[in-house]
Amino acid sequence: MASKSLKNWQGIACVIGLDFGDSGKGRLIDDLAQNAHIVARFNGGSNAGHTVRNQFGAFALHMIPSGIFNQKATCIIGRGVAVDLESLIDDEFQQLKKVGVSWKNLIIDDQATLTMPWHKLKDGIRENYRKTKIGTVGKGIGPTYADRVERSGLRVYDLIAKDFREKLADELSFQNKFFNLKLKFENIFSQYAKYATIIKSHVATTIPVIKKAKKDGKNILFEGAQGYFLDIDSGTYPYVTSSSTGVLGIWRSFDIHPFDINQVVGITKAYLTRVGAGPMPTKINSHEKETIIEKGTEFGTTSGRVRDPGWLDLVLIKHAVAANKVNSLALTKLDILSGFKNIKICIGYKIASQVANYVSGDATSLEKCQPQYEVLPGWRQDISKARNFKDLPKNAKNYIKFIEKFTQVPVNIIGVGPEREQAIYV
């Protein structure tokens, strides 16, 4: 059942980005995971950069579910995830090891596709060749998913099987020959044989684990990566990622039907950002741009690239809310908007001076849209210490109420700073 305060959520919950990514999913999952028996990643790969700041320190996670700091929870990497073992083992395990956080409860699905060195190379080669670049993160995401769909990707299961050496040799010789690569078999084999030894005891078929937990009434939290307008089908194609970023992604990884999810939490910043190419109708070109980048430290967690800021776009948010049946909103980084005299918020689009009735996420259609704004008065006060809705300035409350009225969904969590405790649960 949907809980009154999301702090005490129960049943099955998920966190879905409603925007172009980097909305603060990592920090929210870290907090909601305190109440979880299972935390499971269902899409994307090491293109994700989920920042967590808590009593253990500050972390940039790419593969490991952000619930790993609840040492009692089981963390799962699902079959729909592109598994980058270099990131998982050489970077993220090391981040955790330094602070004594264990990953013994991590399970990786045996059917998930591996991101291999040739995928990363091909991501770069393809991107360089494109006249109009997508601005990918360069982690091999497109080529990994392309191989999965083409039915040739090596899977986690293959890595721990006896014939891995032969399978790798076959696939590598194909990749080297047809894509003119010069990758060395022995180097890759020894690197992946080492990874296999490290992860072997963490590999399992994860769907029965999720099904049993569901049957036993445990709390299961699904962690989305990216955002709905980067979704392969619903996003601003071709400026999208290659996985299903909405609730459909949960079904693709775990056979859990969206109707079975009690709490669909849609998350967005109080403004938008986009990193990489592709349209964002509310992109800010005025003086507020630099202020937001600087105050909000809007630099990519994975790539370090500057994120373009935009005003909150309620047309897009409402579209993502409807498509995913979001029943709770989380609004992060409200603190970054403190000090603005006025705050713009997009409530409609015009195309060639005509009101647009329907807008798909597709880039060609979105590029033509002129945003129509409501201008709301800002607030001056620092809100980073607010812990109750009533502590917020009147105009900040009005900004939130405006979002709730437009989307018809309650804002149940408000981020007022990056630390775990800097959140208001309404």
**202 touches which of Mg ion, ligand IMO, ligand GDP, none (CB within 5 to 8 A by kind)?**
none
- Of 11, 135, 258, 378, which lies in the binding site for ligand IMO, with binding defined by CB under 6 A? 135
Q: Report the nearest approach of Mg ion to the CB of residue 160 (Å).
A: 30
Strand ranges, E, within 42-179: 50-54, 57-61, 74-77, 82-83, 106-109, 113-114
Give me the torsion for CA of 211, 224, 16, 319, rounded to 10°.
Answer: -110
Residues 45-64 vs Mg ion: string with x where CB under 5 A? ----x---------------
Q: Report the nearest approach of ligand GDP to the CB of residue 294 (Å).
A: 12
Contact 359, 319 (CB under 8 A): yes
**Under rule CB under 6 A, how many of the chain's residues touch ligand IMO?**
25
Q: Report the nearest approach of ligand GDP to the CB of residue 423 (Å).
A: 7
Residue 174: both structure tokens together: 């194909």
Q: Which residues contact 47 (CB under 8 A, 6 or more apart)?
A: 62, 136, 137, 139, 141, 225, 226, 241, 302
| Nearer CB in complex with ligand GDP: 122/139 | 139
Q: Report the nearest approach of ligand IMO to the CB of residue 301 (Å).
A: 6
Q: Which class for 127: exposed (0-12), middle (13-18), buried (19 or more C-beta within 10 A)?
A: middle
Distance CA 196, CA 47 (A): 22
State which residue has the least CB distance to ligand GDP: 415
Instruction: Name the CA radius of gyration of the chain, rounded.
Output: 21
- Residues with catalytic annotation? 22, 50
| Nearer CB in complex with Mg ion: 23/422 | 23
Q: Report the nearest approach of ligand IMO to the CB of residue 238 (Å).
A: 9
Contact 277, 238 (CB under 8 A): no
| Nearer CB in complex with Mg ion: 27/119 | 27
- Binding to ligand IMO in span 206-245, by CB under 6 A: 225-227, 230, 239, 241-242
Residues facing residue 220 across a β-bridge: 12, 38
Q: Report the nearest approach of ligand IMO to the CB of residue 28 (Å).
A: 12
**415 touches which of ligand IMO, ligand GDP, Mg ion, none (CB within 5 to 8 A by kind)?**
ligand GDP
| Nearer CB in complex with ligand IMO: 49/417 | 49
Which pairs count as long-range contacts for 389-393, CB under 8 Å and 24+ apart, including other chains?
389/414, 389/424, 389/426, 391/424, 392/424
Whether omega before 208 lies within 30 degrees of 0, making that bond cis, reads no
CB-CB neighbours of 393 under 10 Å: 16
Distance CA 104, CA 29 (A): 19
- Binding to ligand IMO in span 43-62, by CB under 6 A: 44, 47-50
Chain contacts with ligand GDP (rule: CB under 6 A): 21-27, 49-51, 53, 301, 332-333, 335-336, 415-418
Residues near ligand IMO (CB under 6 A): 17, 21-22, 44, 47-50, 134-137, 139, 141-142, 225-227, 230, 239, 241-242, 275-276, 301
Residues near Mg ion (CB under 5 A): 22, 49, 301
